[in-house]
Amino acid sequence: MRLFLPCLLLLSMPIASTASAEGLKVVANTERNIQLSREQVRNLYMGATLGYGLKPVALPASNRHRSMFNTRVIGLAEARIQSYWAQMRFTGRLRPPTIRLPGRPSRRRRLSASLVSVARSPDCVVPNRLTMLYQAD
């Protein structure tokens, strides 16, 4: 299954209490040193293949951090993203990123639970075993 693949990409959680100080980090549990541009992250989350075997994981549509990610990285409104994925799914072309519910990892997703907790650390430090792919201030 895709979640057992070695590379799992996660949208990190912002840490500061004020919106102006909030930042976004995109990390992956890969040991490869990969740096992505904003456009590459956007492409990855819209279903494109970058060639690194990365599998995007997204937050639920109602999550405000996802809205920030949409605004600052994807550059599309949530409604447009949903309609895009409706088209991809029902034409059999692509599947949307796996959704991770904050704090409620399913049984199958427990492999990624530790990664989720990293994203919530107070100082947003990325642990050694993860690679930060992209950072938006």
Partner 1 sequence: MSTMTHRLRRLRQHLLLCSCLLLIAGFSASVHSEDDQGSHRPSDFGLAGFEWSGFARAVAGYLESDGSSFNGYRDNIRVNQQSLLALQPSYHVSDQLSLTGQFVAHSSDDRDSGTEWLYLNYQPSDAWQLRAGKLRMPFFSYSDSIDVGFSYPWITAPVQVYNNYLFSTFHGASASYRRAGLNYALDIEGYYGYFDGDIFAAGSRVDVDAEVKDLRGIVVKLRSHNIGLRLSYHQGENETDLPELQPLQQGLQQAGFNNLANDLDSKGTIRVSQAALSYDGLTSFYKAEWVKTRTEFSLTPEFTGYYFTAGLHIGSWTPHLTYASSSYGRVRSDTALQPVLADPQNPLFPIAAGYYQIFDAIPDGSMDSYTLGLRWDFQFNMAFKAELTWLNETAPRSGFIEPPSSGLFGEDFGNRKAEATLYQLGWEWIF
Interface with partner 1 by CB under 8 A: which residues? Answer: 1-2, 37, 39-40, 43-44, 46-51, 53, 60-62, 70-71, 75-80, 82-87, 89-93, 95-96, 98-99, 101, 104, 106-108
**In the complex, least distance from residue 45 CB atom to partner 1, rounded to whole angstroms:** 11
Closest CB to partner 1 among 29 and 70? 70
**In the complex, least distance from residue 60 CB atom to partner 1, rounded to whole angstroms:** 5
**In the complex, least distance from residue 27 CB atom to partner 1, rounded to whole angstroms:** 19
Contacts 24+ apart (CB under 8 A), 31-39: 31/129, 31/131, 32/131, 33/131, 34/131, 34/133, 35/133, 35/134, 36/133, 36/134, 37/134, 38/73, 38/134, 38/136
Closest CB to partner 1 among 80 and 129? 80
Q: What is the DSSP string of 51-115?
A: SS---EEE--TT-HHHHHHIIIII-S-HHHHHHHHHHHHHTTS--PPEE--TT---GGGGGGHHH
Closest CB to partner 1 among 16 and 86? 86
**In the complex, least distance from residue 57 CB atom to partner 1, rounded to whole angstroms:** 12
Radius of gyration of the chain (CA): 14
Closest CB to partner 1 among 83 and 121? 83
